[in-house]
Amino acid sequence: MQTEKEDEDDASCEEYVARSDFTGSGTDQLSFSRGDRLLVHAKPSSEWWWAELQGVIGYVPAGYLSQDAAGEEEEDPSIEDPWQDEEYFGNYGTLRLHLEMLSDKSRTEAYRQVILRNSASLSSKRVMDLGCGTGIISLFCAQLARPSMVYAVEASSMAEYTRQLVKQNGCDEVVTVLQGRAEEIELPEQVDVLVSEWMGNCLLFEFMVESVLLARDRWLRDGGTMWPSSAALTLVPCQADSYYAEKMAFWERPYGLDFTPLQPLAQQEFFTKPKFSHIIDPCDCLAAPCDVISLDMYTLQVGDLEQMKGQFHFCVEKSAVFHGFTAWFTVCFKSLEAGGATVELNTGPNSGPTHWKQTLFMLDRPVSVCAGDSISGTIVLQRNPVWRRHMTVTLHWTIKGSTDNPDNAQAGTKSFPMWR
């Protein structure tokens, strides 16, 4: 028999259904699986609610929950595969993306250098190459070092060609190709080194990193090596005159006519999402770039990927038009030998070009800034609760003049879906 208080409590509780799995990080976040029915006790913020599942209470991301009216578990037919694996691995079953990656000398040579510089230490080691694609990293291992075994794991149909490439290059004694998702395949043993090229645009897009963490927890022996060992997302305020002219200023006087009524449409169409494959010129940077998010691949947890937060404080170095922010990433490969040299792959404007290029986040309205001004704020990468390879990047910034009084500070915020 429920007491009046319990009735009252239940009355304030609302039942929700989980639309996707969530792995909580930290002690106060509640983990749950898709389809779980949670009792929401409080909604302290629009993002995080206080909820209960089978007697356990904790914070849950509100975006993961839905309140289906009928009370039955309504499967949203459009969310048949939150990982979009059919399309994702379908793309990697063709040569286009592999040609792009293999043609990227900075990327591929960085991995080759890692193997080359660690070739002695790799002797008799067991290696897992997660998401091996055409097997290039595994072939480097067999060609440049003497590992005892390389497990080349590839989920797409490319795996059958990878097997041929391994045989064609006389590496089938050392390299074993396993077709399947890294989360599902079985290795005969643990490995000493887990190497993967998992980085997506803005570092995390595609969230292949989740597969790497799950494989680390399952197949990397204690004390084993993660390659990359660490990753960092770098941000800089920038001018983007040519992109702005091309997409926005264009409408001011095309052929002597006034097309400015189309500018709101242009802003919506061209500046709502980030611009992948942007090439920023170093002189477009308005301040010294700074690392806003750093990942330690030994301690990073899947739950940490739900929301990654970073702060920045830029000192503007030249008077210019502030059009937006540009982001890129750097990954580091620790040496297998204590004290050995670390190999770095930097995808920024002062390093060799890569197929990732950089990512440009355009403000809705450019702002003139002067040398000495400050641009400070936060960046939040919020993983999409339903489409698990997607995220939204939210930037909050405040511009303060070096001379103006603080009341003249200009604040702004903008969220950029990548892509849903």
Interface residues with ligand GJV (CB under 6 A)?
89, 92, 101, 131, 133, 153-156, 158, 181-183, 197-200, 206, 208, 211
As measured in angstroms, the least distance from the Cβ of 179 to ligand GJV is 9
What the block records as the tokens of 251 is 């409408």
Sequence-distant (≥ 6) Cβ neighbours of residue 341 within 8 angstroms: 117, 335
| CA angle (97 as vertex; 96, 103 as ends), nearest 5 | 90
Q: Which is nearer to ligand GJV, 131 or 310 (CB)?
A: 131
**Contact call for residues 17 and 67 (beta carbons, < 8 A):** yes
**Contact call for residues 182 and 83 (beta carbons, < 8 A):** no
As measured in angstroms, the least distance from the Cβ of 98 to ligand GJV is 7
As measured in angstroms, the least distance from the Cβ of 51 to ligand GJV is 30
Q: Which amino acid is at 160?
A: E
As measured in angstroms, the least distance from the Cβ of 259 to ligand GJV is 38
The whole-angstrom separation of Cα 251 and Cα 245 is 9
Phi-psi region of 306 (alpha: psi -120 to 50; beta: other; left: phi over 0): alpha
Strands 410-418 and 343-346: unpaired
What the block records as the tokens of 172 is 């089938």
Q: Which is nearer to ligand GJV, 154 or 373 (CB)?
A: 154
Active site residues: 197, 206
The whole-angstrom separation of Cα 132 and Cα 158 is 9
DSSP string covering 229-254 = -EEEEEEEEE--HHHHHHHTGGGGSG
As measured in angstroms, the least distance from the Cβ of 398 to ligand GJV is 33
The whole-angstrom separation of Cα 147 and Cα 50 is 50
Q: Which residues pair with 203 in a beta bridge?
A: 200
